[in-house]
A and B are shown apart, each in its own frame.
Chain A
């Protein structure tokens, strides 16, 4: 087994970029910051492709099964002899797959930002943050220790916070970043406690060991964790569910999704990188990483399944009603991640039953490409029209042909139209769902249809609906002769479009499976009729609504009535949160405590002091100044002492 230590460079290069740009960027390097970041990331990308090649096609397989290789293990913080945070690098199918995804998408975003963020004041800082994020994400992907996952988990969270609040003088951006951080932080609390539980009963924090101990039914650890129970559920269930809570927070699963739409306040390339392709799928990755353990507990899996399905449907419905294109994309992301989640939930570990797992990973893979493509496309659109609102757009297909084509491809991909990438992965998911759970299958199918509807609603609204004159948008100064940005913004679109077409043909089932052994799948044409047809119908419906401006959509909307408005209002989840925080926690917990501290706790201390002073004031009469009273007190003292010591204490 050859040495994979050079993988270390893949995260370290972005880190180095971050440090350099962070320290000297503002002053000295603001010119070449972008190039620097891109260059270093290019290197990591190449490296990760090398890794992928080496692992998948050279020496990853040992007698037909892909091995888990721990390339590095360094004890970073020891809690007690066998429980410690080890910084490690794990090489297995999913981590390598994620390496490829993260680096390549990140690279695309870097390139795109060269054009998109051009002339920004804090250009260097932007790239520093991008590198920081990339580093954290890579570190997360490579973690071999669950606490290491948690660390990079937090780092990912904070770099997302920094990037969302990049336009820091925009209050809405600041608010969004705060929201994102706090909500995910809340989820992470669950994650942390989950880790504590697993670590306590597992007696280790090393993922490999945890899996090994919790999957062998007779190990003492497994017995102890399953025998221990709290509120009727076994500690295993608790631990896993709480870990999943962390994942749900990062992956914006219902009801912890509220931060994702607002996060769109960040620069669009950032949304493409963080909130479409990489960070938001961290939750899925986490579940996949711990999957063998999850597979030991039915309850946890069911929770995952239903949360995933619910989010998928919920998000899809909302997406149909939003008018901010980035928000539409955000909700579609949420819905797609829902897919991945329930795919994991319905899966089993190993063999044929591992189909869901494979499908989920496959979808994660394909989704990364077409969704980042969508965002970058939206980015270049926004870059041109300087607005996120559909109503400001329309008929752009002539002005930005490349973007148009790329966007269309992406839409087809996400709609699951063969032969585009999304088709294959979604197909696997549906198959798995069909085999495991009919209800889920139904939801998935309906969601698929919705997906293609709202995506094409988006597409038509941007590129068709009304005829836009060139003049309408040719106003921007820096010579957008045919409306689209410089080549650095177009190149990524083209590449990603190619991927969106191509990656579907990757023999994924041969490479990434739950147990590492190859899994032979086949596209069952009969089976795939239903979803494809549905999607096509949905597309046609969308076309009829939005290709030309006509009242149909509004009529339908009115037909739905209250439900529609509820959907546009995102079903009032945000309001609920705001109510809980602003109306319950602050006034009923925070204020009283703050008040009590000043007036009761501190008040008590003051009271002691005041009482002393008061007593002093009261007894001053003793010192009457009359010498006769003094003599009297004197005699009183004598008498008192005499009585005390002759009669009482004698």
Chain B
């Protein structure tokens, strides 16, 4: 079975959606497509593990390589390793959940679902690409749907946020583009595998690493280029926020990881800057979150803080920390998606996201409140949920760097978990607990589709949280391969 199916399936779904008539048909098609994607991803997982157990230790599986632009030596080269597979699974889960929560979207529903599916297609393509050009292509494919989703179906100052998001992301991809050209003209190929094999001259790395890394960093809310995150997430419709935080921010993290793997020397040379920025993002994001009063802003800012862990893990450049970064990507994806879903459900009922105007929702809508609390607990890294596994792995990894400054960075980012506890509990205590206001007392609890979406995401969180060895088993070999490129060995005695 070919990986291209991961692109064709959404494409087919999108086309069918365009042909469909009426909300009912559209959403059914969308859901069917999404579930099919989930199944496909699951199938790939299954056969991936089968391959691995049968002793196939190739760096990438299901590889296929067609020439695309012969004159420019651009190939459509795809293949997955453990990390990309994890990302694909994440995407497919979030797509299903996203479609479910937007079940009742009746405004321009056709366009809405079409764009959602298109976005997912971009993500899949991005994750399966082994050719930088293809990678970049899909990276940008995923930008426009975001703009339209926020701008058309958003709330608040939507057009401004949409514009800000689109422009900053475009600036990011512009930088990425320059970086890719640099790589191309010094290796005469875009093919990641070849580049890894032949390596890039150190001087070139030093020059182009910042372009590429910062470029992807903008997608991953790297400080100080994170300002699109709060507005974008806050203005976006629920499903779009889920996709935005759950999928597209991961594009950035994944890209950063790949770039670091491609340019190890530069990565080591600039590691301290990366770590500095990441630490700032973590602390700063956490404190900024503490001051927010709008649930969506709270979650958006916390995303900045959490994605800081991804960057931190990458910047620390050792196996454990990179493992942690990957797990954190998956975990944060699921967790934030869940959070946004819960917030969306609350908002759709109470029509306010202001913490101060909410309260005691646990009485009126126990299920939604429980979901909210679970998301919160996961976000503050409670054992049993994915957040704990991810953050602890990052800490263990980053602690391996014996330099004092790195230790300090670790401790500071560790301190953020306390702040996280503060803002999560503030929000929970205010909105979920406490006395309930009369107009909210009679609101209905979640509907089947919302329940399904939430349960799906929670299951994902729990699987990682309760049995982390599974995902570890999936991504470890790939991180080992990356570390091999990095030429950096584990620092534990």
| Chain B residues positioned under 8 Å from A221 (CB to CB) | 493
Report the minimum CB–CB distance from A334 to chain B (whole Å).
22
| Chain B residues positioned under 8 Å from A68 (CB to CB) | none
Q: Which of these, A81, A147, A169, A203, contacts B363 with CB under 8 Å?
A: A169
Which of the candidate stretches B198-206, B284-292, B338-346 sits at the interface with the other chain? B284-292
| Chain A residues positioned under 8 Å from B417 (CB to CB) | 185, 189
Chain B minimum-CB-distance residue to A587: B291
| Chain B residues positioned under 8 Å from A175 (CB to CB) | 429
Report the minimum CB–CB distance from A14 to chain B (whole Å).
14
| Chain B residues positioned under 8 Å from A220 (CB to CB) | 493
- Give a binary string over A593-605; 1 marks a CB under 8 Å from any B CB, 0 the rest: 1100100011011
Q: A178-B429, A189-B414 are in contact. Are A196 and B284 (CB under 8 A)?
A: no
Chain A minimum-CB-distance residue to B404: A230
Contact check, A82 vs B290: say whether CB atoms are below 8 A apart: no
Report the minimum CB–CB distance from B373 to chain A (whole Å).
9
Contact check, A182 vs B421: say whether CB atoms are below 8 A apart: yes
**A151 within 8 Å of B by Cβ?**
yes
Report the minimum CB–CB distance from A175 to chain B (whole Å).
7
**B411 within 8 Å of A by Cβ?**
yes
| Chain B residues positioned under 8 Å from A477 (CB to CB) | none
Contact check, B410 vs A196: say whether CB atoms are below 8 A apart: yes
Which of the candidate stretches B46-54, B125-133, B135-143, B433-441 sits at the interface with the other chain? B433-441
| Chain B residues positioned under 8 Å from A203 (CB to CB) | 492-493
| Chain B residues positioned under 8 Å from A431 (CB to CB) | none
Report the minimum CB–CB distance from B295 to chain A (whole Å).
16
Chain A minimum-CB-distance residue to B426: A178
| Chain B residues positioned under 8 Å from A178 (CB to CB) | 425-426, 429
Task: Count residues of A near B (Cβ-Cβ below 8 Å).
Answer: 53
- Give a binary string over A79-95; 1 marks a CB under 8 Å from any B CB, 0 the rest: 11111010000000000
Contact check, A189 vs B490: say whether CB atoms are below 8 A apart: no
Chain A minimum-CB-distance residue to B226: A601
Q: What is the total of A-B residue contacts with beta carbons within 8 Å?
A: 132
* Bound Cα distance A171, B223 (Å): 37
| Chain B residues positioned under 8 Å from A186 (CB to CB) | 418
Contact check, A80 vs B418: say whether CB atoms are below 8 A apart: no
Taking each of B168, B292, B399, B426, which has the highest tally of chain A beta carbons within 10 Å of its own beta carbon?
A: B399
**B481 within 8 Å of A by Cβ?**
no
Contact check, A196 vs B399: say whether CB atoms are below 8 A apart: yes
Contact check, B468 vs A171: say whether CB atoms are below 8 A apart: no
Contact check, B492 vs A169: say whether CB atoms are below 8 A apart: no
Contact check, A80 vs B490: say whether CB atoms are below 8 A apart: yes
Q: A168-B433, A169-B436 are in contact. Are A189 and B469 (CB under 8 A)?
A: no
Q: Which of these, A147, A589, A593, contacts B392 with CB under 8 Å?
A: A147
Contact check, B284 vs A593: say whether CB atoms are below 8 A apart: yes
**B273 within 8 Å of A by Cβ?**
no
**B384 within 8 Å of A by Cβ?**
yes
Q: Which of these, B363, B418, B422, B469, contacts A78 with CB under 8 Å?
A: B469
Chain B minimum-CB-distance residue to A74: B469
**B395 within 8 Å of A by Cβ?**
yes
* Bound Cα distance A165, B425 (Å): 11
**A105-159 residues at the B interface, CB under 8 angstroms:** 147, 150-152, 154-155, 158
| Chain A residues positioned under 8 Å from B415 (CB to CB) | 189
**B362 within 8 Å of A by Cβ?**
yes
Q: Which of these, B323, B414, B418, B435, contacts A182 with CB under 8 Å?
A: B418
- Give a binary string over B266-303; 1 marks a CB under 8 Å from any A CB, 0 the rest: 00000000000000000010011011100000000000
Contact check, B435 vs A171: say whether CB atoms are below 8 A apart: yes
| Chain B residues positioned under 8 Å from A269 (CB to CB) | none
**B396-454 residues at the A interface, CB under 8 angstroms:** 396-397, 399-400, 410-411, 414-415, 417-418, 421-422, 425-426, 429, 432-436
Q: A168-B362, A193-B414 are in contact. Are A181 and B421 (CB under 8 A)?
A: yes
Size range of the chain B interface in the assembly: 35 or more
* Bound Cα distance A192, B490 (Å): 21
* Bound Cα distance A463, B414 (Å): 50
**B472 within 8 Å of A by Cβ?**
yes
* Bound Cα distance A186, B290 (Å): 16
* Bound Cα distance A586, B384 (Å): 31
Contact check, A81 vs B493: say whether CB atoms are below 8 A apart: no
Taking each of B410, B472, B492, which has the highest tally of chain A beta carbons within 10 Å of its own beta carbon?
A: B492
* Bound Cα distance A238, B271 (Å): 27
* Bound Cα distance A169, B429 (Å): 10
Contact check, B396 vs A174: say whether CB atoms are below 8 A apart: no
Chain B minimum-CB-distance residue to A167: B433
Chain B minimum-CB-distance residue to A592: B287
| Chain A residues positioned under 8 Å from B230 (CB to CB) | 597
**A173-227 residues at the B interface, CB under 8 angstroms:** 174-175, 177-178, 181-182, 185-186, 189, 192-193, 196, 199-201, 203, 220-221, 224
**A591 within 8 Å of B by Cβ?**
yes
Contact check, A174 vs B493: say whether CB atoms are below 8 A apart: no
Contact check, A82 vs B383: say whether CB atoms are below 8 A apart: no
Q: Which of these, B323, B388, B472, contacts A151 with CB under 8 Å?
A: B388
**B393 within 8 Å of A by Cβ?**
yes
**B306 within 8 Å of A by Cβ?**
no
Contact check, A174 vs B433: say whether CB atoms are below 8 A apart: yes
* Bound Cα distance A82, B492 (Å): 9
**B187 within 8 Å of A by Cβ?**
no
- Give a binary string over B318-355; 1 marks a CB under 8 Å from any A CB, 0 the rest: 01100100000000000000000000000000000000
Contact check, B396 vs A169: say whether CB atoms are below 8 A apart: no
- Give a binary string over B91-112; 1 marks a CB under 8 Å from any A CB, 0 the rest: 0000000000000000000000
| Chain A residues positioned under 8 Å from B468 (CB to CB) | 76-77
Q: A192-B414, A605-B168 are in contact. Are A590 and B291 (CB under 8 A)?
A: yes
Contact check, A174 vs B414: say whether CB atoms are below 8 A apart: no
Report the minimum CB–CB distance from B165 to chain A (whole Å).
11
| Chain B residues positioned under 8 Å from A591 (CB to CB) | 291
* Bound Cα distance A26, B367 (Å): 11
**A75 within 8 Å of B by Cβ?**
yes
Contact check, B414 vs A200: say whether CB atoms are below 8 A apart: no
Chain A minimum-CB-distance residue to B411: A193
Contact check, A79 vs B168: say whether CB atoms are below 8 A apart: no
Q: Which of these, B224, B363, B476, contacts A601 with CB under 8 Å?
A: B224
Q: Which of these, B377, B388, B389, B433, contacts A169 with CB under 8 Å?
A: B433
| Chain B residues positioned under 8 Å from A177 (CB to CB) | 429
Taking each of B224, B360, B410, B493, which has the highest tally of chain A beta carbons within 10 Å of its own beta carbon?
A: B493
* Bound Cα distance A590, B426 (Å): 14
Q: Which of these, A193, A199, A586, contacts B290 with CB under 8 Å?
A: A586
Report the minimum CB–CB distance from A588 to chain B (whole Å).
11
* Bound Cα distance A69, B415 (Å): 36
Q: A196-B396, A594-B292 are in contact. Are A168 and B287 (CB under 8 A)?
A: no
Q: Which of these, A75, A169, A182, A594, contacts B288 with CB under 8 Å?
A: A594
Report the minimum CB–CB distance from A145 to chain B (whole Å).
13
| Chain A residues positioned under 8 Å from B395 (CB to CB) | 192, 196
Contact check, A594 vs B291: say whether CB atoms are below 8 A apart: yes
**B23 within 8 Å of A by Cβ?**
no
**B442-491 residues at the A interface, CB under 8 angstroms:** 468-469, 472, 476, 490
| Chain A residues positioned under 8 Å from B384 (CB to CB) | 151, 155
Chain A minimum-CB-distance residue to B425: A178
Contact check, A155 vs B472: say whether CB atoms are below 8 A apart: no
**B188-246 residues at the A interface, CB under 8 angstroms:** 223-224, 226-227, 230
Q: List 21 A-B contacts (CB under 8 A).
A: A26-B366, A75-B469, A77-B468, A78-B476, A80-B396, A80-B490, A85-B392, A150-B383, A154-B382, A165-B429, A169-B434, A169-B436, A178-B426, A182-B422, A182-B425, A189-B414, A200-B399, A200-B492, A586-B290, A593-B291, A594-B288
B contact residues vs A (CB 8 Å cutoff): 164, 167-168, 223-224, 226-227, 230, 284, 287-288, 290-292, 319-320, 323, 360, 362-363, 366, 377, 380-384, 388-389, 392-393, 395-397, 399-400, 410-411, 414-415, 417-418, 421-422, 425-426, 429, 432-436, 468-469, 472, 476, 490, 492-493
List of 5 A-B pairs having minimum Cβ-Cβ separation, nearest first: A594-B291, A151-B383, A602-B227, A168-B433, A77-B468
